[in-house]
Structure 1
Amino acid sequence: MNVQEMIDIDFLQKVQDTFAKATGFAAVTVDFRGNPITKYSNFSPFCSLVRQDPRFVDSCLKCDAYGGLEAARREKPHVYHCHAGLVDFAVPIIVKGKLVGSMLAGQVTLHELDNGKLSSITNDRSSWEENEEIAREYANIPSKSYEKIYAAAEMMFYVINNMFEKDMRHYVKEEWNEKKHQMIDQLKVQANLEQELTEKHNQPSHSFIDPHFLFTAMNTLSCLAIIEKAPQTQDTILTLTAMMNYMLTTNESRFVPLGEEMDYIEQYVKLQNVRFKAELYVLMDIPEEHQSIFIPSFILYSIINQAIQHKIESKMGHGKIVIKGYVYGDDFIIEVSDHGMSFSKEQLADLYDVSHYGRNYILTAHPNPEGGTTVKVRIPNDGVEGSYRV
């Protein structure tokens, strides 16, 4: 979770500025990586000059990192001498037992009587005294007692952690309410779709559709849409939406353009690949000028579904299905070929049942020499509805 989402940064900046003005300390708040999330408050000219010198800037950054890490390890404020001899302190910001950032403050000197109370990060003191400009600014650094420094650090520890805790509770409550509303909306949509699909399933044409597949996929997508922020989830939802639209607007008495059935098959294969992590694809070799031919709805889907279910059940998980279309005499022929596809006697009998499509449509199946099956669908040109010449 981003620390900027947990708290009002503008309000945090005001608190930090007021603290710096009241105490004379410099201060900045950083995330757990050490990146500032506020502007510097009361930053001393001495430290600004030291950090501008390429000889000292790395030591400054190391001191910042050390202070934050040590405070996180101790889970309380840590006061220390930096490489330049100033006193700094780090206040850990802990939310639900996890470090989310720190407030770094200080840039003061210690009263002489307290010099033995703090350890230094390094014994190697920077040679900033050689720079006259920096040395002049050092004389302007305020001096504080150890008690006042630690009291200020402890005060900010309680203040800033209380701020984060309150804002975090508010953030979690808002996020939960948002997700709850999203879930309710998703469940309403799902319930409506399931009701519509159940009603459509009672119609003869939808005996070809496996509603269990659609309900299972919808449940999966509902969860993904709420808990994930992934492009694949959004793409999958759009795919399923396109399928639902085709299914709910198609019924037994209607014929559909071949191109629409092809689009539906493409979406169906795409969704099966996501669902089973498969690598199935359909090669469609049908000239564009013939894609406006009207065919009985779901006539190709029933064949493709059988081929794909065979691959999934046999755990092949990959393969190619080829669909070809061409004019033969006065009729239009559609061929569906798959090297791994096979049909039981019951499945063949179901395909040959002309009551599904009408006696004008003839389906035949024959084995391929290299294995698998090719199913042919004859679309007649005899003046009836669905004739390929309209």
Structure 2
Amino acid sequence: MSYQDVPADLLSRLSHRLRDQLYSMITIPDPPNPMEPSLQSRASSLGTLDRLPVELLYEVLMSLDFQSSISFSRASIQGKNIVCSLPAYRDVMKHAPHALAALSRTKLLHFHSASDLHNALRNERCATCPEYGVYLFLPTCERCCWQCLRSKPTRRVVSPTAATKTFALSPKMVRQLPVMFSIPGTYGVACKPTQKSYRLVSVTAAKELAMSIYGSPGDAIEAIIRRRPPNERTESTARSLRAIFSDFACLDSLMVPDQGNTGVDRYFGMASIPFPSLTTPDILEHGLWCKGCEWTFNQHRGRRIPAYVIANMVPADCDPDRVLLGMVRRAYSSVRLSAHIQHCYGAQQLLASQMCKKVERVPSP
């Protein structure tokens, strides 16, 4: 059976939604409703913009941030109708209004163009690894998977004070960085509630600012360490900086050894939100998690899986517990899950078990 032939009912039996994981991020219970085009027939004008072809006006609006587009829609009835007919606005408001609400409440809405958001919606791959990105990282408006949010330093947010210290920046320099305000709520795998809103900046933006000041990654690391107090010029500091400045966008971090340099992410989940993918006009994906991977992890913890099976699944220099738990938390699109279950040990075991139960239920002639 090829992955294209996997029936929908089979996918349903072998998949589920990890709601505790989804709710560890930003949740928006009351997303805004999309604007409806006005049916009023009275004359309306955009002033001098009436001279532009509609196609060119679309290009201009796509380059604007959503906040500016909404302001433009309030200028006139014609402006409202044009914005409502814009594919980026129509798709994002229809399929991901919660993301717009999150960007607005975190004060990041004016940093991203309509085109950026629409491109993220029409894509499905994590921006920093080859896997399915089931979340939107708000500071950069890029898709991201759970593992990259957990392990990649550039998919984190920190306080402006921490950015000042980590990258040897002056307070004046840090004030150039886009600031987001976290939404009070419940975050992280421990479901820790917080009623406080934090001022946060992205590590990616701070890294890019440091690069513009210090030059190459090597020069930046050297300059930052040189500006640290003598007691902080340690190998641990250098390792952490190397993890930030050599963050590759093509590696599956789950399948490489844990370097132990990511540290505790105090603000985990506060800058990300579950985000669907619309890779084709009529198929909206919200992410699926493999029950077979969950079965494998539980069986491994109970020492009920042969060692050679684990050796075939986990690289020799990686911790099996970390890798198998990471697989439990990995999301897939329907197509990706169909391909995955063809070689997933747990999924195949579950299928075999279901087939045996069906045989047992068949009455004897």
TM-score normalised per structure 1? 0.22
| Higher Cα Rg, which structure | 1
Report which structure shows greater RCO (CA 8 Å, sep ≥6).
2
TM-score normalised per structure 2? 0.23
More strand by percentage? 1
